[in-house]
Amino acid sequence: MARILIVDDSGMSRRTLRKILEPEGHVLSEATDGMSALERFFIDRPNLVMLDLTMTGMYGIDVLKKLKEIDPGVRVVVASADIQASTRAMVIEAGATGFINKPFDIERVLKAVNGALEESTGGIE
């Protein structure tokens, strides 16, 4: 069981991740944008952040970089509908622990989350 912060401007994406992760016993909190994500991170100190890449206001890559400044050991799994290899490489280079594509596949989400929580590269598809 882990504390996981879900950051996504899509209510549907947040609900989908909640349906996948809650039955596994994880305690979830949510943020709808980058600034509220940074605030929730300070308050909740989650074990893992599930981070959407494309959000209004502050892009996910910027949130990732700020999180790494705050806590270099933060574990972040980036979720995106962007399937380009360059996008995946960019977020991994920025410090993401894992990367998953949308729409969410239950097994891939759980593999990425478990891999990130184990601090291995198992979170990278």
CATH number of 3-123: 3.40.50.2300
> What's the rounded Cα separation, in Å, for the pair 75 and 30?
16
The rounded distance, in Å, linking the Cα atoms of 107 and 101 is 12
Phi/psi region, residue 7 (left: phi>0; alpha: psi -120 to 50; beta: rest), is beta
Going from N- to C-terminal start, the domains of the chain cover 3-123
pLDDT for the residue 57: 86
- Spell out the per-residue pLDDT of the chain, length 125, in tens: 899 999 999 999 999 999 999 999 999 999 999 999 999 999 999 999 999 999 988 999 999 999 999 999 999 999 998 888 899 999 999 999 999 999 999 999 999 999 999 864 343 34
**Dihedral sign (CA 113, 119, 122, 125):** positive
What Å distances lie between residue 107 and 11, 99, 100, CA to CA? 21, 13, 11
